[in-house]
Structure 1
């Protein structure tokens, strides 16, 4: 009797009736999404190929056979195009290892980006940390290019997008969770990395720099790579970058390496006028000296003042551009909502117009940590 009771629970356990073996799955590394001339969705899906040679590189890079391959499917929706992969591949697409989603600029201007990302947001396999990149031209064109170091192009793009904000401040890291959260914020403005091909390099290389501004689900503007540093400083984004301070003749420049940035924005509303006080504290090291001498405390203060003046001017220029576009990409509306939801309710309807009239007061303080070596003047001198 005891033995019967011991084995009886085993019959109540469920089996893995819906499981897939590894050989039944194709592991997706990246997806490119384009709009066809007929208005349909074209998916370019990159799969990892485990048996792709011992070297792990792409064809022609000394690594043997390529470690990935691309497959194109076309249909009326992203979901249907994704399901059609099986009729070509003979395996079910596995989305949990995907690194990046590349969306063509044309598609992002024509269709709501929330609709484009709906499948990847709703399905249980894709991770919310998948990088989202907007591409100049067709997304599929980038999938024909070879990675430089990584085994797959998807991993290559992911690495560029993660590294660039940390060491150059020339783009912003954008993933599925961030895009969806930003679009649902009070201002409803999201930012995504921008990608293009640099034809000057030989061979041409992929560059991820700058960002697109997305409002109401569609592209409404751009932030250039040159303006991204100031933008990331305004929104208090951590990272390291280089500030170039021009000499009098502007043919050569001095370089200041940014180590840390702390920015606070305080909006103050009185009647129909709004003033935002921006305080930015920057610390860094001198990287290049071509027309400055920093050997005394006064020299150091003079150099810091030059950096402060440059940053303030560039911040004012960037804010002016955003105000002309009536795009509150720096999130002043979100700050007002958090501090006073009732007041935001009164301002929300015409916030674009209101943002364009805001007066910004910018205060920049720079601290020079060191000169990079024992001398505070040009090496040649």
Structure 2
């Protein structure tokens, strides 16, 4: 090898080494506090905030929102795998009250030595009372613009205070992580809505359409899904709720059923339960002059999984037909009641009908899109259900 080639090789190796020096701005994990959840409530400063303010830790603000930050300090994470640790040792909740979400987040630097890292925020919970008062896009504006919080973060509405939802007395649970897990149970229970991430929510809000968010209710020991909150597109505020039964019906209308059950009763009051194997929904939009109507066709196959009428054999053909009629009527009633809630009570379209009209009749859609909720409330919607029991499960005789 010539001397010139050696020089070139040495220079090349030096350049390679310069690129292997690591991250210049590295921050050790031990020096970080992981933020996993954020709760938003109507302003109600905590005792700690009041005492700190009285002793000089205050700044110009209007008390409009109280944020609850759920954090997992590094030392807590190191010991979280032990079963004898109680839930209050796995996480910590800190509150800050003000009128700028981002300012409140940064204010934590004056109260904690280790800065909060937002890359692992799993959920944002907004209280129903706050969503009535302040537009949801304003509440989420700083999150959507902040690169520190990932757009995959999920958003929920709480019937009670959001701070109460972010508390668990069960050993070994971090509430924010449990809530993120609940959102994935749609294949088992149709009253669990498809998860609403920040990315999806941003597009929906900007489109001006009305929508729903999963409701949460809390007890002293746990949190459960509890229907859905209706957010009106024009003012981006909470205007009402859908019950668990109405959310179930909505999942059939929207074609998002992945599994679950239909429960009803026969004429003697015995329990009948239908396990869903498959379900399809087809919505046909029709126009005639200024009149707009929809035909919703539901097709489902499943099994009769539960029958409390012990005198009536479940494998008799006439009984199967009768049971199919019970389930069909129950589903029809659920969807009819839900349609009434959408059109007459809340006067909004949260069933996705707008998308079918937009795709099937784009010219008509362009004429009515600015006042769609009102137009939908006057539209005729009919349902057609074809439900088949193709299996009665294993014999119990």
Q: In which range does the TM-score fall when normalised by the shorter chain?
A: 0.7 to 0.9
Looking at structure 1, the residues matched to 225 and 189 of structure 2 have their Cα atoms a distance apart, in angstroms, of 11
Q: How does 1:75-86 map to 2 (within 5 A)?
A: 75-86=98-109
Q: Give, in angstroms, the shift of residue 225 of structure 1.
A: 0.8
**What's the secondary structure of 2:204's corresponding residue?**
helix
Deviant stretches of 4+, over 6 Å: none
Looking at structure 2, the residues matched to 300 and 329 of structure 1 have their Cα atoms a distance apart, in angstroms, of 34
**1:265 to 2:283 alignment:** yes
Which deviates more, 138-147 or 259-268?
Answer: 138-147
Unpaired segments of 5 or more residues in structure 1? none
**What's the secondary structure of 1:239's corresponding residue?**
coil
**1:283 to 2:307 alignment:** no
2:176 equivalent among 134, 151, 154: 154
CA contact (8 A) 1:229 1:241 kept: no
**1:168 to 2:203 alignment:** no
* CA separation of 1:362 and 1:331: change in aligned 2, threshold 3 A: same
- TM-score, normalised relative to structure 1: 0.87
Quote the residue 2:314 is aligned against.
Answer: 294
Q: Give, in angstroms, the shift of residue 138 of structure 1.
A: 1.7
Which deviates more, 355-364 or 262-271?
Answer: 355-364
Pairwise CA RMSD? 2.5
Q: Give, in angstroms, the shift of residue 106 of structure 1.
A: 1.4
Unpaired segments of 5 or more residues in structure 2? 1-6, 45-61
Q: Give, in angstroms, the shift of residue 170 of structure 1.
A: 1.6
**1:125 to 2:143 alignment:** no
**1:206 to 2:223 alignment:** yes
CA contact (8 A) 2:32 2:73 kept: no
Q: Give, in angstroms, the shift of residue 55 of structure 1.
A: 5.8
Quote the residue 1:101 is aligned against.
Answer: 124
CA contact (8 A) 2:273 2:304 kept: yes
**1:343 to 2:361 alignment:** no
Quote the residue 1:237 is aligned against.
Answer: 256
Paired residue total: 365
Q: Give, in angstroms, the shift of residue 272 of structure 1.
A: 1.4
Q: How does 1:52-67 map to 2 (within 5 A)?
A: 52=76, 54=79, 56=81, 62-63=84-85, 66-67=89-90
- TM-score, normalised relative to structure 2: 0.84
Looking at structure 2, the residues matched to 362 and 33 of structure 1 have their Cα atoms a distance apart, in angstroms, of 39
Q: Give, in angstroms, the shift of residue 36 of structure 1.
A: 0.8
Deviations 1:81-108 (A, max 9, x none): 1111121112222111111111111111
CA contact (8 A) 2:38 2:70 kept: yes
* CA separation of 1:144 and 1:353: change in aligned 2, threshold 3 A: closer
Looking at structure 2, the residues matched to 248 and 272 of structure 1 have their Cα atoms a distance apart, in angstroms, of 43
Q: Give, in angstroms, the shift of residue 281 of structure 1.
A: 1.0
Deviations 1:34-67 (A, max 9, x none): 221554322211111343374646xxx8325711
Looking at structure 1, the residues matched to 126 and 160 of structure 2 have their Cα atoms a distance apart, in angstroms, of 10
